[in-house]
């Protein structure tokens, strides 16, 4: 979520008044804003997407709740010490959280472990361990419409009688200490992005959230007028007409067997009716096709922690496979591929398969990604139920990602086209008529220059590196991952460095390259990549021959608050994942909306960005998805690229032979090994085209008038990427509700 203060003032239309009041009191509002900790309750794009969706749902007047876990420790704080990442716990609640309100009246019991028995009334889950889920409500204000929705976060609370046996044994002290065991469930966020780690505590977190949330939803459904108080009181018949549950990836996929369990064992419905209600209520958003990210929980672990759910999953699978058999008779291999249970070597539940079968809608997050789901990853499921599959291209909220973070650009835009763009972002297209207008170009470039100066001051203060504010600010910020190819960016920097050294007097377009992002603490190569970036920076930044022409800076502790400072100051946005690996990306959209040009592959939402702005306004390079597939089939040989490109060979040799790590020449051997022997993301295959494309970027940047024109074209073409548009599509095409852009009379939202 990041910070809430400025966002709340903006959406309530009181920012101007608050600024003024603080000023009159002789206080600095920015200083106050800096006292708020980021709520860092997610890992990267997926969590930030949910935050943008909350803003848009409130702004479109939808009666929607966000649900999550109130982690006591959010995503770790990243420190760079001696050029490497150190993790510090994110103790964000230390001084309290003024935005939250505990709601003990809605506390909910959640059960774990135990066993299932047969009774005359049906199955019963008994001898369980009990933990309570305490809800904390956080306000989500809509923009200028008097709507405030709720983000409800669950915190684990031990029951009084937790570990009863110790009380009875008389070991009172031990019994009190052991209450921690239950409360550990909401202690800390698992810091993996796009990677599945099958830990018991993580599974308990996922079930904890699903169980608490479903009980909350059902309680609210039953107490509402529409739930029918009298005659059909308690009837769940109309549940899917009144409730839509959108699963953000498979992390909450246990909601499907949990809803089934409640309908079967608590409500006493027959299977067919329960299943119909479940499928009509649930919808699933897929966020990745990387195999290492897909959740596959061992059956043994599920049986231990959630025995009744495992029974239900088996029965869902039995009926699902009957269904497959009916439509595709005698296709044993298809049945094996489509099973919810993977057999070898250890039995596992494929949570994506469960989510597809248990949902009435399945969507990817950009057109190219949704197409890949249909033709590759979930092809069998598409052939079984093509009507389920949809696309919902991601978006970002223009409130936080333009109005809040870039007031200078917001004002320049509003002077031309008014303020409607804040809730109707497609109106930015009107700016195209001034793309070549010298006065408008000057206004846009002046704001960019001011934003760059402001960032440069922060960086000089934080890193002690002198920054040339006339240089191109070339930025790649996102979680560190091999598929995102920060190493390819690094190879480009090394190539530029080698060129300067070889030819010190040649003309050179000055660049300040910035790379930022957290590596999962257990992701060895990702941490090595950070170390390499810092090591290359140390060489490049201190070489007097290079001077102000090239700098490489690793941006420490990338998070929402830092993103808000970076996006407005970027000239060039790097979005260079291997085609077919980045589902959508949203960082790409934040840069575009703030007037940065993009160098990128035809991957994720980059494809639709190129479509909107015209390929001539983007720097596109590299293999397309079909070319990546073909290379995979032919067999990728990194050495063929290494041997045939002298500059590439020099870069890799320097990494390998300790040029950037003289005190430990072997430091980066494993990076060179990955690039040459085990690279699943084909970096070297795209190197040559990438370098050539970067030369085109230089040429364009040298012509500032042309650059300004392209930048304005980018801004003017970014309307599609508002999360308001995304949410309107979810509302109409999945949830069956109509969004409303109704606003309050404008005096309320004006800055005065």
Ligand X SMILES: *Cc1c(COP(=O)(O)O)cnc(C)c1O
Give me the residue label for tokens 């008779």: 329
For ligand X, give the closer residue by CB, 304 or 483: 483
For ligand X, give the closer residue by CB, 555 or 638: 555
Select the span of 219-227, 250-258, 556-564, 630-638 touching ligand X (CB under 6 A).
556-564
516 binds ligand X (CB under 6 A): no
Q: State the Cα–Cα distance between residues 574 and 682, nearest whole angstrom.
A: 17
- Chain positions 657 to 716 lying near ligand X, rule: CB under 6 A, are none
Catalytic residue among 287, 374, 399, 511: 287
**Least distance between ligand X and beta carbon 390 (Å):** 21
**Least distance between ligand X and beta carbon 517 (Å):** 8
| Local structure of 238: helix, strand or coil | coil
Beta carbons of 129 and 200 less than 8 angstroms apart: no
**How is residue 447 written in tokens?**
């704001």
For ligand X, give the closer residue by CB, 144 or 587: 587
Binding mask 447-486 for ligand X (x = CB under 6 A): -------------------------------x--------
388 is known as an active-site residue: no
Q: Which of 74, 227, 587, 739 binds ligand X (CB under 6 A)?
A: 587
Task: State which H helix or E strand residue 369 sits in.
Answer: helix 367-372
**Least distance between ligand X and beta carbon 42 (Å):** 8
**Least distance between ligand X and beta carbon 476 (Å):** 8
Q: State the Cα–Cα distance between residues 327 and 322, nearest whole angstrom.
A: 9
> Could you say which DSSP state residue 170 is in?
T
- CA within 13 Å, CB half, 11: 27
* Size, binding site for ligand X by CB under 6 A: 12
Which has the closest alpha carbon to 701: 569, 543, 572? 572
68 binds ligand X (CB under 6 A): no
Q: Which of 560, 618, 623, 638 binds ligand X (CB under 6 A)?
A: 560
115-119/550-555 β-pairing: unpaired
586 is known as an active-site residue: yes
- Chain positions 26 to 65 lying near ligand X, rule: CB under 6 A, are 44-45, 48
Q: Which of 585, 595, 600, 622 binds ligand X (CB under 6 A)?
A: 585
**Least distance between ligand X and beta carbon 273 (Å):** 41
**Least distance between ligand X and beta carbon 727 (Å):** 17
Which has the closest alpha carbon to 146: 747, 742, 723, 752? 742
590 is known as an active-site residue: yes
Q: Which of 559, 720, 725, 743 binds ligand X (CB under 6 A)?
A: 559
484 is known as an active-site residue: yes
Q: At what angle do helices 646-656 and 683-702 cross, to 10 degrees?
A: 110
For ligand X, give the closer residue by CB, 395 or 739: 395
Q: State the Cα–Cα distance between residues 687 and 635, nearest whole angstrom.
A: 17
**Least distance between ligand X and beta carbon 409 (Å):** 18
For ligand X, give the closer residue by CB, 583 or 638: 583
**How is residue 508 written in tokens?**
């050179």
**Least distance between ligand X and beta carbon 558 (Å):** 6
* Residue number, nearest CB to ligand X: 587
For ligand X, give the closer residue by CB, 252 or 587: 587
Q: State the Cα–Cα distance between residues 655 and 535, nearest whole angstrom.
A: 10
In angstroms and rounded to an integer, the radius of gyration of the C-alpha atoms of the chain is 27
For ligand X, give the closer residue by CB, 399 or 478: 478
| HEC letters along 240-275 | HHHCCEEEECCCCCCHHHHHHHHHHHHCCCCHHHHH
Virtual torsion, Cα 481, 484, 485, 490, nearest 10 deg:
-90
**How is residue 22 written in tokens?**
């603080």
Select the span of 82-90, 309-317, 582-590, 656-664 touching ligand X (CB under 6 A).
582-590
Catalytic residue among 590, 713, 720, 725: 590
Q: State the Cα–Cα distance between residues 139 and 615, nearest whole angstrom.
A: 41
| HEC letters along 306-320 | CHHHHHHHHHHHHHH
563 binds ligand X (CB under 6 A): yes
Which has the closest alpha carbon to 480: 683, 687, 193? 193
148-157/65-69 β-pairing: parallel
479 is known as an active-site residue: yes
**Least distance between ligand X and beta carbon 480 (Å):** 10
For ligand X, give the closer residue by CB, 44 or 74: 44
Contacts with ligand X, residue ranges (CB under 6 A):
44-45, 48, 478, 558-560, 563, 585-587, 590
Residues involved in catalysis: 287, 478-479, 484, 586, 590
């Amino acid at each position: 979520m990041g910070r809430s203060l400025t966002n709340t003032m903006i959406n309530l239309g009181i920012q101007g008044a608050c600024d003024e009041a603080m000023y009159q009191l002789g206080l600095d509002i920015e200083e106050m804003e800096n006292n708020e900790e980021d709520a860092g309750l997610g890992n990267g794009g997926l969590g930030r997407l949910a935050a943008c969706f909350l803003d848009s749902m409130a702004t479109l007047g939808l009666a929607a709740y966000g649900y999550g876990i109130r982690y006591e420790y959010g995503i770790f704080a990243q420190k760079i010490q001696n050029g490497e990442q150190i993790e510090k716990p994110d103790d964000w609640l230390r001084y309290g959280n003024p935005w939250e309100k505990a709601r003990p009246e809605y506390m909910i019991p959640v059960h774990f472990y135990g066993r299932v028995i047969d009774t005359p009334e049906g199955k019963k889950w008994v001898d369980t361990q009990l933990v309570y889920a305490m809800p904390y409500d956080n306000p989500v204000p809509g923009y200028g419409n008097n709507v405030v929705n709720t983000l409800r976060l669950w915190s684990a609370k031990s029951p009084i009688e937790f570990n009863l046996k110790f009380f009875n044994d008389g070991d009172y002290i031990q019994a009190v200490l052991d209450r921690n065991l239950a409360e550990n469930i909401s202690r800390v966020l698992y810091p993996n992005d796009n990677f599945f780690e099958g830990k018991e505590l993580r599974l308990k977190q996922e079930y904890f959230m699903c169980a608490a949330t479903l009980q909350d939803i059902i309680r609210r459904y039953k107490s509402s007028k529409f739930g029918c108080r009298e005659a059909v009181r308690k009837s769940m018949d109309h549940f899917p007409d009144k409730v839509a549950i959108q699963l953000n990836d498979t992390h909450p996929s246990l909601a499907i067997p949990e809803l089934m369990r409640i309908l079967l064992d608590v409500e006493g419905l027959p299977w067919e009716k329960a299943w119909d209600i479940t499928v009509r209520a649930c919808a699933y958003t897929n966020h990745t096709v990387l195999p290492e990210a897909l959740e596959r929980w061992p059956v043994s672990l599920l049986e231990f922690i959630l025995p009744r759910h495992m029974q239900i999953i088996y029965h869902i699978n039995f009926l699902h496979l009957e269904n497959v058999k009916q439509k595709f008779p005698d296709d044993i291999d298809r049945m094996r591929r489509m099973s919810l249970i993977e057999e070898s070597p250890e039995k596992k539940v494929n949570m994506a398969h469960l989510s597809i079968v248990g949902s009435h809608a399945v969507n990817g997050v950009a057109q190219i990604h949704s197409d890949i789901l249909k033709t590759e990853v979930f092809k069998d499921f598409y052939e079984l139920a093509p009507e389920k599959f949809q696309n919902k291209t991601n978006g970002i909220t223009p409130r936080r990602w333009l109005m809040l973070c870039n007031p200078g650009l917001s004002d320049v835009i509003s002077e031309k086209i008014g303020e409607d763009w804040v809730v109707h972002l497609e109106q930015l297209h009107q700016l195209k008529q001034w793309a070549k207008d010298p006065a408008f170009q000057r206004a846009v470039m002046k704001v960019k220059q001011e934003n760059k100066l402001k960032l440069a001051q922060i960086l000089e203060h934080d890193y002690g590196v002198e920054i040339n504010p006339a240089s191109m600010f070339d930025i790649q910020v996102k979680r560190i991952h091999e598929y995102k190819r920060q190493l390819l960016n690094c190879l480009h920097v090394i190539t530029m460095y080698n060129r300067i050294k070889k030819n010190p007097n040649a003309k050179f377009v000055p660049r300040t390259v910035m790379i930022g992002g957290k590596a999962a603490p257990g992701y060895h190569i990702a941490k090595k990549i950070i170390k390499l970036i810092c090591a290359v920076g140390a060489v490049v930044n201190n070489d007097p021959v290079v001077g102000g022409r090239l700098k490489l800076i690793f941006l420490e502790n990338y998070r929402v608050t830092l993103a808000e400072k970076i996006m407005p100051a970027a000239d060039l946005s790097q979005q260079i994942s291997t085609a077919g690996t980045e589902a959508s990306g949203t960082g790409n959209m934040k840069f575009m909306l703030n007037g940065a040009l993009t160098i990128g592959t035809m991957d994720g939402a980059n494809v639709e960005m190129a479509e909107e702005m015209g390929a001539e306004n983007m720097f596109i390079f590299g293999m397309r998805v079909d070319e990546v597939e073909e290379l995979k089939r032919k067999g990728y040989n990194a050495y063929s690229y290494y041997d045939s490109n002298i500059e590439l060979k020099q870069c890799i040799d320097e990494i390998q032979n300790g040029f950037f790590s003289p005190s430990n020449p072997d430091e980066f051997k494993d990076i060179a090994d990955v690039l040459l022997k085990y690279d699943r993301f084909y970096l070297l295959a795209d190197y040559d085209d990438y370098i050539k494309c970067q030369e085109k970027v230089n040429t364009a940047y040298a012509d500032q008038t042309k650059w300004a024109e392209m930048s304005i074209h980018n801004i003017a073409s970014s309307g599609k990427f508002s999360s308001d548009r995304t949410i309107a599509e979810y509302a109409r095409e999945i949830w069956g509700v109509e969004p409303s852009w109704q606003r309050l009379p404008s005096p309320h939202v004006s800055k005065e």
